[in-house]
Chain A
Amino acid sequence: MTALAGLLAQILNGIQYGLLLFLISSGLTLIFGVMGVINLAHGSLFMIGAYLAYVIASVTGSLWLALPAAILGGVLFGALLERGLFRRFRAREHLDQVLLTFALILLFEEARAALLDNQFHSVPVPAILDFSVPVIGGFAYSAYRLAVLVICLGVAGLMVLFVERTKIGSAIRAAAEKPEMVDLLGIDAGRIHTLVFAAGTALAMLAGALAAPLQSVYPGMGDGFLILSFIVVVIGGLGSIAGAFWSALLIGLIDTLGKAYVPQAAGIAVCALMAVVLLWRPTGLFSRA
């Protein structure tokens, strides 16, 4: 019985991890799909969100303020990055885009080191969620983790509603699926790009802020998530929100179960899954191509 309870607890962990991964990769897939820009610094945006949460939580004592701050800050920062930098690099070759965003990673890390320090910092869980809910088999689940799960699901639902039901949403979908259609439809591509980049940045920073109490903040904390979110995008298919959602859940579960039962193979298992998908459907599971 304990083995089964353990497995259920692991599945819950996997879903929670996968949902966090979805927040990061949904922005990434839209930015790729709509703008055609590769952004290796996406993991750094996650790191920036987490450090923002750490700073706000230690100054004001409340993590709740950090969540809207991460969203607002992300929108502003994203718009700024798009207008100031990425817009100019859309027409550049991949080599330039890769190196430019690699330089951003280095500079963001250096800025973090200069503004704060290089220490690990733990971020306290908000007081009202600082308790544990007994789940199964003697294992308790922290209320904050459950809250993160609910918030992520809520954000995912809002995104689907926005993309599927609103006019701007359908313009974004059109841009992601058939970029050549945008001009024909008379949509202002520049504004769509700024919007998408801002939203993607905000989502990554929100994910970072939510994750801060779960995994502490530390230098290079975005690296692991960057690779995983790239894999999510490859498996899910470029520009597909639904694809990002399901493949993020899949990767979250495989990564978590792998770490629990075959710890040395977890990193490789995820990549092997991607290899299989590439063999079977080179454009991802959810692409319409």
Chain B
Amino acid sequence: MRPLSRRFMLAGSAAALATPAIAQGAPLKVGLMLPFSGTFAALGENIAAAFELCLQENGGKFGGRAVTLVRLDDESDPAKAPANVNRLLGRDNVDALVGTVHSGVVMALVQAAREKEVPLFIPNAGNVAATRDLCSPSVFRSSFSNWQPAYGMGKALAARGVKKAAWVTWDYAAGRESAEGFRDGLKSGGAELTQILTLPFPETNFQPILAQLPGLGVDAVGSFFAGGGAIQFVKDYAAAGLRDKLPLCGSGFLTEGVLKPQGAAAEGIQTALHYGDGLDNPKNKSFREAFQKMTNRSADVYAVQGYDAGQMLAVGLAGTKGDATAIKALGAAIRAARIDSPRGAFTLSASHNPIQTIWLREARNGENRVIGAAAEALADPGTGCKMA
């Protein structure tokens, strides 16, 4: 369901009459800066579709004000990010930003949101900085911090009696930050992270790392990989004969959306994430049905994050009667709300990151079945956040 035009408008219905709060009655423009091409295109499409679903369920209005959407493909290219943000803010004059997946590109959005005081909703990228030292009254996250899922995994391993573990990841921000979460999670249960093994992003030649694992003397191996890297890593891990000797686990993205190509190599792998298959709550059920009906695709964690970005904007604008420039009141309304998410209801921390349950999941028959909570109501430490 890819639109022909790069930019498409979703018009709200007869907004001008219904919103006396905004004198000019102009619709609110929301810029969706997401990857619509490149490796992350499928993620961007699901986030955009779920955001749109949320808008539709609200009758095309947030806070009583009609909303139009402006799409911009960020190509997941950090070098083009400052120019792309300028396009949305300078050329298209959007009032609020939603984006993005890539953790380098999102920094351009955070920078603009801070400098220009435009509300930004991050529907995926988990860089801890966005809700730690670079936190801002105008930056909100509907997804997770890289630290959170890995913390849950570390905690679950320690609870099971693992004493020493290693972490394997790409050498980039998400990899390093998840390693810290894993370390803290292990520590919370008295276990230890003894080794971090990295390779440059997005290298998929894992052999040099796999050959080192048996000699490390650890009880378990955790990892953060996503997409194609995750597929190849799980397969190579099994082919190197390590599966039975050293249990593999990880941040949920290791098995997210890639179970089919991973096949038997993924069977039984435990991961931790803020969403999973078989979560039994009414909101999840209705959301999955509506998303399926709208897009003919199954909802996934990215869709949930896009949907919740919409819910957060809706709650915030309801508190300001549709005024996106009243950042303080917008933030107060969002922080006071309980977001009824398909992942389970959550609230926002003082640094604007979800306080949420991290679920423990096990890969079985092509599903990441939730088998329990790895960490309940987990908040990112938010270290270094000083809200102006």
Contact = CB atoms under 8 A, between A and B. Distances in A.
Interface in A113-142: 113, 117-122, 124-125, 132, 134, 137-142
A119 B239 contact: no
Contacts of A119: 39, 41-42, 228
B224 to A, nearest CB: 15
A259 B199 contact: yes
Contacts of B38: 118, 219
A207 to B, nearest CB: 14
B228 A256 contact: no
Interface in A18-66: none
A17 B38 CA distance: 27
B239 A120 contact: no
A26 B24 CA distance: 68
Interface in A195-253: 214-216, 218-219, 224
Contact of A224 (B37, B203, B210): B203
B215 A3 contact: yes
B96 to A, nearest CB: 28
A6 B241 contact: no
A124 B261 CA distance: 8
A10 B212 CA distance: 9
Interface string A142-157: 1011000000000000
B377 interface: no
B200 interface: yes
Nearest to B38: A118
B208 A256 contact: yes
Contacts of B262: 122
Contacts of B171: 263-264
A267 B212 CA distance: 19
Most central of A2, A121, A263 by chain B CB within 10 Å: A263
Given A137-B214, A219-B38, A224-B203, A122 B235 contact: yes
B232 interface: yes
Nearest to B35: A118
Contacts of B207: 10, 13, 16-17, 145, 256
Given A6-B211, A260-B212, A122 B200 contact: no
A189 interface: no
Contact of A120 (B198, B208, B227): B227
A176 to B, nearest CB: 31
B173 to A, nearest CB: 15
A5 interface: yes
Contacts, number: 103
A142 B39 contact: no
Given A3-B215, A13-B211, A260-B209, A120 B241 contact: no
Interface in B177-234: 197-200, 202-205, 207-212, 214-215, 227-229, 231-232
A103 B263 CA distance: 38
A9 interface: yes
Contacts of B240: 132, 139-142
B245 interface: yes
A260 B245 contact: no
Given A137-B214, A142-B239, A216 B228 contact: yes
Interface string A261-278: 001101100000000000
A113 B37 contact: yes
A125 B211 CA distance: 20
A120 B257 CA distance: 12
A122 B199 contact: no
A219 B202 CA distance: 11
Contact of B212 (A6, A120, A140): A6
Contact of B199 (A6, A132, A263): A263
Contacts of B203: 224, 259
Contacts of A6: 211-212, 214-215
Nearest to A140: B241
Contact of A122 (B198, B205, B261): B261
B228 A218 contact: yes
Contacts of A113: 37
A110 to B, nearest CB: 10
Contacts of A5: 215
A5 B240 CA distance: 14
A2 B228 contact: no
Contacts of B239: 125, 132, 140, 142, 144
A121 B236 CA distance: 15
A144 to B, nearest CB: 8
Contacts of A134: 241
A216 B231 contact: yes
B1 to A, nearest CB: 14
Contact of A138 (B202, B245, B263): B245
A267 B241 contact: no
A227 B209 CA distance: 22
A140 B202 CA distance: 24
B39 A219 contact: yes
Given A120-B39, A219-B39, A9 B211 contact: yes
B214 A139 contact: yes
Contacts of B214: 2, 6, 137-139
19 contacts: A2-B214, A6-B211, A9-B211, A13-B208, A13-B211, A113-B37, A118-B38, A118-B39, A120-B39, A120-B228, A125-B239, A132-B239, A134-B241, A142-B240, A215-B232, A259-B203, A260-B208, A260-B212, A263-B197
Interface of A: 2-3, 5-6, 9-10, 13, 16-17, 113, 117-122, 124-125, 132, 134, 137-142, 144-145, 214-216, 218-219, 224, 256-257, 259-260, 263-264, 266-267
